């Protein structure tokens, strides 16, 4: 009697099944990107048509009636510039996010491109909007003698504008900076390269 264990031929042994736990970050980051992209499209569309509404709202305030026409022209140009920056970048972010959810290797390049364009655009918009806000504060102060004789009010408004600009810049640059750092991590790049290899493998899941 042969007590040796039976070893089936190699052809009968099924290939080993490697346990796979797909990472969650592509889905989470992709959903966040889609939501931010939709928000950017809505904001860009509003910027195209908000200048006239803002002019009506400001001129209805007695303290703002002294604002020159150049201010409203600058405000309208700022809105158009914001739309030019936000609409294409928002569409790019949505496309990159969909590809990321699908785990396409090309998503990394699109996300990095979006981060650079969006970050530079946000800085330019911040720099351009500061003089317009300062002009509005000066006009409002000059139209009211009580405010014109109160240096503390001007200092407070300038400080508030500066704080708002800093907070707005941090908010606008948070995701682009995170994107550049995240997609530069070796672990993330290795995972994306694994996506590429799996797609090149016949029968791969991605």
Q: Give the three-class secondary structure for 5.
A: coil
Number of domain units in the chain: 1
**Mean pLDDT (whole number) for 110-115:** 96
Residue at 15 is within a domain: no
* pLDDT tens figures, 116-147: 999 998 888 888 887 777 777 666 666 666 65
Contact by Cβ (8 Å): 112, 35: no
Residue at 8 is within a domain: no
Residue 147 is inside which H or E element, if any? helix 145-148
Residue at 170 is within a domain: yes
| Predicted pLDDT of residue 78 | 77
Residue at 70 is within a domain: yes
Contacts by residues 96-100 (CB-CB < 8 Å, ≥ 24 positions apart): 96/33, 97/29, 97/30, 97/31, 97/32, 97/33, 97/34, 97/37, 98/30, 98/34, 100/26, 100/29, 100/30, 100/33
In this prediction the pTM is 0.74
| Predicted pLDDT of residue 114 | 96
| Predicted pLDDT of residue 6 | 46
* pLDDT tens figures, 70-91: 667 777 777 788 888 889 999 9
Residue at 18 is within a domain: no
Query: Which residue would you say has higher pLDDT here, 55 or 120?
Result: 120
Residue 177: which domain range? 24-200
**Mean pLDDT (whole number) for 147-152:** 64
Residue at 90 is within a domain: yes
Considering the chain, what percentage of its residues have pLDDT values greater than 70? 67
Confidence of residue 52 (pLDDT cuts 50, 70, 90): low
* pLDDT tens figures, 156-168: 777 777 787 778 7
Residue at 4 is within a domain: no
Which DSSP symbol is given to 13? Answer: S
Residue at 166 is within a domain: yes
């Amino acid at each position: 009697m042969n007590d040796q264990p039976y070893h089936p031929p190699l052809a009968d042994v099924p290939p080993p099944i490697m346990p796979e736990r797909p990472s969650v970050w592509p889905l989470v980051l992709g959903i966040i990107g889609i939501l931010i992209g939709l928000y950017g499209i809505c904001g860009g569309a509003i910027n195209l048509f908000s200048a006239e509404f803002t002019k009506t709202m400001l001129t209805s305030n007695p303290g703002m009636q002294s604002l020159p026409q150049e201010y409203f022209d600058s405000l309208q140009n700022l809105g158009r510039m914001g739309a030019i920056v936000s609409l294409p970048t928002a569409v790019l972010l949505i496309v990159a996010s969909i590809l990321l959810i699908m785990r396409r290797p090309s998503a990394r390049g699109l996300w990095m491109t979006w981060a650079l364009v969006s970050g530079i655009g946000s800085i330019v918009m911040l720099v351009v909007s500061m003089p317009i806000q300062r002009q509005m504060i000066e006009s409002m102060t000059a139209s009211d003698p009580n405010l014109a004789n109160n240096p503390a009010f001007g200092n407070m408004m300038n400080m508030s504008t500066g704080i708002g600009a800093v907070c707005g810049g941090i908010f606008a640059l948070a995701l682009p900076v995170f994107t550049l750092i995240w997609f530069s991590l070796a672990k993330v790049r290795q995972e994306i390269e694994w996506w590429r290899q799996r797609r090149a493998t016949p029968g791969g899941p991605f």
